[in-house]
Amino acid sequence: MTLELRDVTAGYGGRPAVSGVSVEVPAGSWLAVIGPNGAGKSTLLKSIAGLVPSQGAITLNGLTTSSMAARDRARAIGYAPQTPLIPEGLSVTDYVLLGRTPHLATLAREGPRDLAVVTQVLARLDLASLAGRRLRTLSGGERQRAVLARVLAQQAGLLLLDEPTTGLDIGHAQALLELVDRLRAEDGTTVVSTLHDLTLAAQYADRLLLLDAGTPVAAGTPHEVLRADLIAQHYDATVEVLSTGQGHPVVVPARPVTHSAHGE
């Protein structure tokens, strides 16, 4: 699904938290929204999900999302929030099955196909052995994976992932991003994620959108956006931009030179 935002402004209580965002995310591509704390990244994702009121145009395959029926929107858009409300007493399987709800006929129970999708997603996110456990008994990273499993089980054409790797160790973070990337490549799923880890963002996203104080300040390929001068200006951070063997940018903090070395 192709997502297009034209001059989108969104916020809370009439005060914009993000404004003037125009971007096209072609079907099967990945946009990472980056920027410092409070820049408006989550607000932008919420406005695409229809959870925060917005002005401007948000379209999916040319259809205005706000005019879509709730059920159609739920089938088309999967949203994994940064801090989801978790029904603690549910088992992992029952929770992930909730992701199938938009695909069920009214009052129908889930069928073998729904269970097969859930089983597959649980296996891919290394959750199979936890399938019967109550959510309240999971570790932070296990819960985060359950939340992502639920949204992946939804099989939506557009995935909105707010900081999906928070709390995940390097192996599980990589497995998750690889899985999302496979859905993108094989099913043409369109992905919009926020990611604080700029090095990971550079490895997976086709394009980056840098927000600062609610305003888009840079957009382009990872090489175009991840420049030490832009990061200094908008994050107030001193970094070096290195390169992986595969040619992806790597952003590492570098101590500002004003500090003298220890022991001198």
Ligand X SMILES: Nc1ncnc2c1ncn2[C@@H]1O[C@H](COP(=O)(O)OP(=O)(O)OP(=O)(O)O)[C@@H](O)[C@H]1O
Residues of the shown chain interacting with ligand X in the complex, contacts defined by CB under 6 A: 12, 17, 35, 37-43
Q: Which token pair is 135?
A: 């959510």
Helix (H, G, I), strand (E, B) or coil at 259: coil
- What's the rounded Cα separation, in Å, for the pair 251 and 149? 29
Tokens of 115: 């269970």
Cβ distance to ligand X smaller for residue 47 or 203: 47
Given a contact cutoff of 8 angstroms between Cβ atoms, the answer to whether 47 and 131 are in contact is no
Residue number with CB closer to ligand X (117 or 211): 211
Beta-carbon contacts of residue 83 (< 8 Å; ≥ 6 apart): none
Q: Minimal distance in Å, beta carbon 164 to ligand X?
A: 13
Give the span between the Cα atoms of 201 and 153, in whole angstroms: 23
Cβ pair 220, 48 in contact under 8 A: no
Min separation Cβ 46 and ligand X, Å: 7
- As beta bridge partners, residue 58 has 5
In the complex, minimum distance from the CB of residue 44 to ligand X, in angstroms, rounded to a whole number:
7
Instruction: Rank residues 37 and 258 by Cβ distance to ligand X and give the closer one.
Output: 37
Could you tell me the smallest distance in angstroms from the CB atom of residue 43 to ligand X?
3
In this structure, what token pair is assigned to residue 230?
């832009």
- For residues 142 and 163, which CB has a smaller minimum distance to ligand X in the complex? 163
Least separation in angstroms between residue 42's CB and ligand X is: 3
Question: Of the two residues 128 and 213, which places its CB atom closer to ligand X in the complex?
Answer: 213
